[in-house]
């Protein structure tokens, strides 16, 4: 059976182009993609993942406020009974130019399994998904 | 020969006789529903009254809808409250059911005891998209096995475990149908609604002692709210040959509940709007169990507050609280004093406002780093141009337009997407459910009658 991914752009972020590219890329790579579109709240990712029994939640953020929007998502997943679900985050996820090692560390500490800097190819994430989900 | 349409209501049995050749209503009569003894008694009383008025005694066919004996009472179970549980509720309401309670996530022992107490006519078991969550619906099926009451269970969840649910519930009357939400945010209400109607026809009518009338009538076709929905849909869409009125909303204000119907797409006005929540069906019905003129007058008070009701009725807040208390204790109260008449008018306005606000969608302006944008949840009804009033409290009101005004958009609640300007049509003869029944075989006649009988300030549209 195809592995199921919940994707969407978190917070008050309306950037739709990258979201559509990811939808195409993940679908072409053999995943079942449930795309929540733009301006997605943490609760919407979780509700979708619960109802669909998804294998991973992939959070995008482009507008620089991702660090605020992404806090607490892992804890809420635990509360909703899907504490072990894979969480990825990528895009332009922090304000300004910061060394990505620091940024990545902060997101991993928040409970994300993978965090990606700007300009990451979808193939990188697809490779990680295949490895993490044992596809 | 004329055709007879019967509405077995919870308190009144209403008859409408239609001449098919002329396409006209030729008589109407009513009597108290007698569900405790035999609904046939009330029906016969109403038939005598109809005969006295019109001389009519023989009918080509007799068709009926029913909300007697509590209507079609359903309990629905889903997984996530905003997803499958909500989808199951939307589907059941659209089938004309009274949704007594909605359960989300895993049922507990206490929940199952409560369901046994409720003893619904049908339980709708959903949860999980197709290929999605299995654990919840399987758990709930197992929990229901020990339920102390018996009722048909309609299984409309994750198709991957429908068979397992059914075998878990061996010994129960079950029916399987397509998932009410096969994919995330995809509503699939029609198959569930067909099954509900089929169960209603086959089981519920008999169980409620309504089928003893089988000799008198050719069949109870549907629950009354389903007949109303059918009539409204016909009026909005028209038939192939006759145009309808286009998108419309309707309010049915009763003593215990207030129903709101919308026949509209509800699409946003503005391309810059992001939609949130489940998509809603074109034909949508909501029921407010706490909003009504008598049994639920205290619910209206709780929803808007004594100060607001007092402002509308021009009464002191303490007087409002006292009078609402009296009404709730004695639902047969008539508005026979000036204060009670003023309160009734205020209650009606407030009830219509609350029920329409809960039915309509909302819009929220959100400031993003790239500028303002809008989030819409539910249906945008601002562009709907027709508002229909039905139900005793509205159709007998002297100033229905004034009450109806409360259903419309207001600047003070600009987030609520209610109609901005609509003509008000009043269902003075209470014929919408009858025309929904007639529409089964004679849609054009039914549409012609609806257009003639629903009037704007006393004039047909």
DSSP letters spanning B214-282: GGTSSEEEEEHHHHHHHHHHHHHHB-SSSB---SEEEEEE-SS-EEEEEES----SSTTEEEES----S
**pLDDT tens across B335-384, in order?**
899 999 999 999 999 999 999 999 999 999 988 877 888 999 999 999 99
DSSP H helices, A39-99, are: 42-52, 66-70, 73-79
3 state DSSP class of A102:
helix
Query: With contact defined as beta carbons under 8 Å apart, do B86 and B44 qualify?
Result: no
SS3 content of chain B, % helix, strand, coil (to 5): 40, 25, 40
In this prediction the ipTM stands at 0.84
Chain B residues near any Cβ of chain A (below 8 Å): 79-80, 82-84, 127-129, 131-134, 181, 183-184, 274, 276, 366-370, 373, 375
Q: Please give the full DSSP string across B235-247, using - where no structure is assigned.
A: HHHB-SSSB---S
Contact yes or no for B373 and A1 at CB 8 A: no
Report the greatest alpha carbon distance in chain B: 74
Chain B residues in contact with A33 (beta carbon < 8 A): none
Mean pLDDT per 10-residue interval, chain A, length 135 residues? 96 93 98 96 96 97 92 93 96 90 96 96 97 94
Contact yes or no for A63 and B129 at CB 8 A: no
Token pair 């709210």 is at which residue?
Answer: B225
pLDDT, mean of residues B89-106: 96
In this predicted structure, what is the pLDDT of residue B207?
A: 64
Nearest C-alpha of chain A: how many angstroms from B261? 28
How does residue B214 score in pLDDT terms, banded at 50, 70 and 90?
Answer: low
Statement: residue B216 has pLDDT above 70 = no
Q: Within 13 Å, how many C-alpha atoms sit on residue B99's CB side? A: 23
Residue of chain B whose alpha carbon sits nearest to that of A10: B368
Report the greatest alpha carbon distance in chain A: 41
Contact yes or no for B368 and A13 at CB 8 A: yes
Token pair 């409560």 is at which residue?
Answer: B114
User: Of the ranges B70-74, B171-175, B393-397, which is most confident?
Assistant: B171-175
Structure-block tokens of residue A33: 């993609």
Name the percent of chain B lying above pLDDT 70: 96
Poorest-pLDDT segment among B145-149, B208-212, B390-394: B208-212
Statement: residue B199 has pLDDT above 60 = yes
Statement: residue B36 has pLDDT above 80 = no
In this predicted structure, what is the pLDDT of residue A97?
A: 85
**pLDDT tens across B402-420, in order?**
899 999 999 999 999 999 9
Look at B199 and B357; give whichever has higher pLDDT.
Answer: B357
Which residues have CB under 8 Å from B295's CB, separation 6+? B255, B256, B328, B331
Question: Is-catalytic flag, A13?
Answer: yes
A49 touches chain B (CB under 8 A): no
Chain A residues in contact with B184 (beta carbon < 8 A): 34, 36, 48, 51-52
**pLDDT tens across B107-116, in order?**
999 999 999 9
Statement: residue B168 has pLDDT above 90 = yes
A7 touches chain B (CB under 8 A): no
Mean residue pLDDT across chain B? 92
pLDDT, mean of residues B183-201: 93
Name the percent of chain B lying above pLDDT 90: 73
Query: With contact defined as beta carbons under 8 Å apart, do B126 and B76 qualify?
Result: yes
**What distance in Å separates the CA atoms of residue B401 and residue B421, rounded to the nearest whole number?**
12
Separation in Å, CA B6 to CA A118, B63, B93, B158: 68, 6, 21, 39
Contact yes or no for A39 and B373 at CB 8 A: yes
Contact yes or no for B370 and A65 at CB 8 A: no
Contact yes or no for B83 and A48 at CB 8 A: yes
**What distance in Å separates the CA atoms of residue B409 and residue B110, rounded to the nearest whole number?**
42
B34 — phi, psi (to 5°)?
-120, 70
How does residue B436 score in pLDDT terms, banded at 50, 70 and 90?
Answer: very high
In this predicted structure, what is the pLDDT of residue A135?
A: 86
Contact yes or no for A53 and B368 at CB 8 A: no
Residue of chain A whose alpha carbon sits nearest to that of B182: A52
Helix (H), strand (E) at residue B26 = strand B24-32
**pLDDT tens across B307-328, in order?**
999 999 999 999 999 999 999 8
Q: Name the strands in the sheet holding B386-390, side by side, starting at the edge strand that comes first in the sequence.
A: B283-288, B258-263, B248-253, B386-390, B423-426, B455-456, B459-460
Query: With contact defined as beta carbons under 8 Å apart, do B99 and B71 qualify?
Result: no
Option in A12, A37, A44 nearest B368 (CB)? A12
In this predicted structure, what is the pLDDT of residue B1?
A: 81
How does residue B208 score in pLDDT terms, banded at 50, 70 and 90?
Answer: low
Statement: residue B210 has pLDDT above 80 = no
Q: Nearest Cα to B295, choosing from B334, B322, B254, B331?
A: B331
pLDDT, mean of residues B153-164: 97
Poorest-pLDDT segment among A95-109, B138-152, B291-305, B322-336: B322-336
Option in A13, A36, A53 nearest B133 (CB)? A53
Contact yes or no for B131 and A14 at CB 8 A: no
Residue of chain A whose alpha carbon sits nearest to that of B372: A12
Strands (E), B119-164: 122-125, 153-155
Query: How many CB atoms lie under 10 A from the CB of residue B367?
Result: 9
Chain A residues in contact with B368 (beta carbon < 8 A): 12-14, 39, 63
Question: Is-catalytic flag, A128?
Answer: no
Look at B24 and B41; give whichever has higher pLDDT.
Answer: B24
Burial B98-134 (b: 16+ CB within 10 A, else e): bbbebbbbbbeeebbeebbeeebbbbbbbbbbbbbbb
Contact yes or no for B181 and A52 at CB 8 A: no
Query: How many CB atoms lie under 10 A from the CB of residue B435?
Result: 30
In this predicted structure, what is the pLDDT of residue B213?
A: 59
**What distance in Å separates the CA atoms of residue A54 and residue A57, rounded to the nearest whole number?**
8
Option in A39, A51, A64 nearest B84 (CB)? A51
**pLDDT tens across B261-278, in order?**
999 999 999 888 999 889
Query: Distance of alpha carbon B207 from its chain centroid, rounded?
Result: 22
How does residue B10 score in pLDDT terms, banded at 50, 70 and 90?
Answer: confident
Option in A12, A15, A44 nearest B366 (CB)? A12
Nearest C-alpha of chain B: how many angstroms from A13? 7
Query: How many CB atoms lie under 10 A from the CB of residue B412?
Result: 6
Burial class of residue B339 in the structure, from the number of CB atoms within 10 Å of its CB (0-12 exposed, 13-18 middle, 19+ buried): middle
Structure-block tokens of residue B304: 């808007």
């Amino acid at each position: 059976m195809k592995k199921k991914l919940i994707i969407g752009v978190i917070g008050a972020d309306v950037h739709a182009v990258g979201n559509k590219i990811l939808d195409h890329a993940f679908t072409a790579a053999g995943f079942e993609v449930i795309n929540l579109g733009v301006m997605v709240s943490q609760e919407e990712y979780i509700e979708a993942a619960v109802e669909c029994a998804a294998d991973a939640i992939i959070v995008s953020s482009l507008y620089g406020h991702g660090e605020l929007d992404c806090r607490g998502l892992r804890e809420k997943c635990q509360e909703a009974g899907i504490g072990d679900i894979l969480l990825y985050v990528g895009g332009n996820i922090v304000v300004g130019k910061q060394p990505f090692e620091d940024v990545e560390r902060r997101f991993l500490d928040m409970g994300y399994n993978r965090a990606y800097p700007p300009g990451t190819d979808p193939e990188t994430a697809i490779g990680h998904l295949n490895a993490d989900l044992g596809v | 020969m004329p055709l007879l349409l019967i509405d077995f209501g919870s308190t009144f049995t209403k008859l409408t006789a239609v001449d098919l050749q002329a396409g006209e209503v030729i008589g109407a009569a009513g009597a108290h529903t007698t569900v405790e003894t035999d609904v046939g008694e009330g029906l016969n009383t109403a038939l005598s009254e109809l005969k006295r008025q019109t001389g009519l005694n023989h009918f080509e066919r007799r068709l009926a809808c029913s909300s007697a004996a509590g209507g079609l009472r359903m309990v629905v179970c889903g997984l996530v409250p905003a997803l499958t549980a909500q989808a199951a509720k939307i589907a059941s309401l659209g089938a004309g059911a009274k949704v007594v309670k909605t359960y989300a996530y895993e049922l507990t022992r206490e929940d199952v005891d409560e369901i046994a107490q409720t003893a619904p006519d049908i339980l709708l078991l959903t949860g999980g998209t197709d290929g999605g969550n299995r654990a919840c619906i399987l758990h709930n099926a197992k929990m229901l096995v020990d339920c102390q009451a018996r009722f048909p269970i309609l299984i409309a969840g994750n198709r991957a475990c429908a068979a397992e649910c059914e075998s878990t519930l061996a010994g129960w009357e079950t029916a399987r149908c397509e998932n009410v939400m096969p994919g995330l945010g995809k509503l699939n209400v029609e198959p569930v609604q067909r099954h509900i109607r089929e169960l209603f026809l086959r089981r519920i009518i008999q169980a409620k002692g309504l089928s003893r009338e089988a000799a008198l009538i050719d069949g109870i076709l549907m629950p009354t709210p389903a007949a109303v929905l059918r009539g409204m849909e016909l009026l909005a869409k028209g038939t192939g040959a006759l145009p309808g009125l286009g998108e419309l909303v309707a309010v049915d204000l009763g003593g215990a509940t207030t129903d709101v119907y919308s026949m509209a797409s509800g699409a946003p006005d503005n391309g810059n709007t992001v939609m949130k929540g489940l998509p809603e069906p074109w034909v949508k019905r909501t029921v407010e169990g706490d909003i009504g003129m008598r049994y639920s007058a205290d619910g209206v008070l709780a929803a808007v507050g004594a100060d607001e009701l007092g402002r509308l009725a021009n009464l002191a807040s303490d007087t409002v609280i006292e009078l609402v208390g009296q009404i709730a204790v004695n639902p047969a109260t008539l508005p026979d004093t000036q204060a009670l008449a003023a309160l009734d008018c205020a209650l009606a306005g407030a009830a219509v406002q609350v029920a329409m606000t809960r039915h309509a969608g909302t819009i929220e302006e959100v400031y993003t780093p790239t500028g303002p944008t809008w989030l819409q949840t539910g249906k945008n009804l601002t562009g709907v141009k027709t508002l229909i009033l039905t139900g005793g409290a509205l159709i007998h009101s002297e100033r229905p337009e004034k009450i109806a005004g409360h259903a419309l958009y207001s600047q003070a609640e600009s987030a609520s997407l209610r109609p901005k300007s609509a003509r008000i049509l009043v269902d003075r003869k209470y014929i919408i459910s009858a025309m929904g029944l007639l529409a089964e075989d004679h849609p054009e006649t039914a549409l012609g009658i609806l257009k003639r009988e629903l009037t704007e300030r006393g004039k047909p549209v």
